[in-house]
Amino acid sequence: MPRVRPRRLRESPAMRRLVSETRLHPAELVLPIFVREGVSAPVPIASMPGVVQHSLESLPEAVADAAAAGVGGVMLFGVPEQRDARGSGATDPDGILNVATRVAVEASAGRLLVQTDLCLDEFTDHGHCGVLDDRGHVDNDSTLVRYSAMALEQARSGSELLGLSGMMDGQVAAVREALDDQDFTDVAILAYSAKYASAFYGPFRDAVESTLEGDRRSYQLDPGNRREGLREAMIDIEEGADIVMVKPAGSYLDVLADVAAASEVPVWAYQVSGEYAMIEAAAAHGWIDRKRAVIESVRGIRRAGADVVLTYWATELAGWIRNGDLA
């Protein structure tokens, strides 16, 4: 007869609830939101069923719904009508992302944190995250100048947390200095530190109508590299990042656990568009229990060490959590 019986702790729902190691809370979820210029109604994204490109008119309700569900924040992405080589729309006070930020800040009324993606890829006609040099190579240091200007415009628009997702060297230090010089010392930096060159961003590129040809392997991390992910996070903390992130989440749980073990600042993870699309597609075929898969996927990311998870299911999942409906 076994003397040690771990199953005792799994016997009843009440016991399982009491010994659960990983709880989910709406405040630990952030909803990414796409806002498209020049549309009057939301536009569905085919590869992300249930997710839309919002219009400026439909954005306030999405923010209000997230706030009502207790979601901790929203992360805004802009989809501009015009793009050019230097991504001018990103630094235009009337550019879609900056306008959307002002709208979201008003709709939130302090109930959740309004955050913005700080990267040029949505605004450049070539689709890269930075500006190009004569040879068509992404130029790190001239991109930092653009990021600094973009940061100031986002701060002026009321973003409280800037999500630096471009993977340029020195971007955290450059943006911190630009913000501090203009007295935006209270605006925080979320560094997408360990951001991998991933196939799982595919549906996102539909969502922002990316024009990218080629790939981002000269700046995003090689998917096989674990130590380098931790190194990037440590560099960003050193440069002044307030929060660091690992992205994508599901295929990089080891990197997430490493960063969580070493970091003195909060560690977030981004459950990206492809992770969303895979579960939605399998569920639509009846091959997987959608709700259970959503909960398990986010719980796994939390278990690996993420303090907060960015997920396209944030509002829906927060609703389930609030209703105690996590079965």
**Does 258 help bind ligand PBG (rule: CB under 6 A)?**
no
> Which residue minimizes CB distance to ligand PBG?
204
Please, which of residues 7-36 interact with ligand PBG by CB under 6 A? none
Q: State how far the Cα of 75 lies from the Cα of 164, in Å rounded to an integer.
A: 11
Measured distance CA(16)–CA(3) in Å, rounded: 21
Among 204, 252, 268, 313, binds ligand PBG (CB under 6 A): 204
Q: Determine the size of the site formed for ligand PBG (CB under 6 A).
A: 9
* Residue 291 annotated to the active site: no
Is residue 116 a contact point for ligand PBG (CB under 6 A)?
A: no
Q: Could you say which of 86, 146, 195, 302 is catalytic?
A: 195
Report how many helices (DSSP H) and strands (DSSP E) the chain contains, helices first: 11, 10
247 is catalytic: yes
28: which DSSP letter?
A: G
Geometric angle at alpha carbon 34, from 294 and 199, rounded to 5°: 60
Nearer to ligand PBG, 68 or 209 (CB): 209
- Does position 190 interact with ligand PBG (CB under 6 A)? The reply is no
The three-state secondary structure class of 75 is: strand
Phi, psi of 125 (to 5 degrees): -75, -20
Enumerate residues 6+ apart whose C-beta is below 8 A from 295. 24, 317, 320, 326
| Options 1-9, 17-25, 115-123, 301-309: segment touching ligand PBG (CB under 6 A) | 115-123
How many other β-carbons are positioned within 10 Å of the β-carbon of residue 234? Answer: 16
Contact in structure between 48 and 277 (CB atoms under 8 Å)? yes
280 binds ligand PBG (CB under 6 A): no
Nearest approach, Cβ of 19 to ligand PBG (angstroms)? 33
**How far apart are CB 125 and ligand PBG at their closest, in Å?**
15
Q: Which residue in the list 245, 247, 252, 280 is annotated as catalytic?
A: 247
Structural Rg of the chain based on CA atoms: 20
The piece of 93-101, 113-121, 237-245, 301-309 that touches ligand PBG (CB under 6 A) is 113-121
Q: Tell which positions 150-169 bind ligand PBG, by CB under 6 A.
A: 165
DSSP 8-state class, residue 6: G
Q: Say whether residue 45 binds ligand PBG (CB under 6 A).
A: no
Task: Write out the catalytic residue numbers.
Answer: 195, 247
Binding site for ligand PBG (CB under 6 A): 117, 119, 121, 165, 201, 204, 216, 272-273
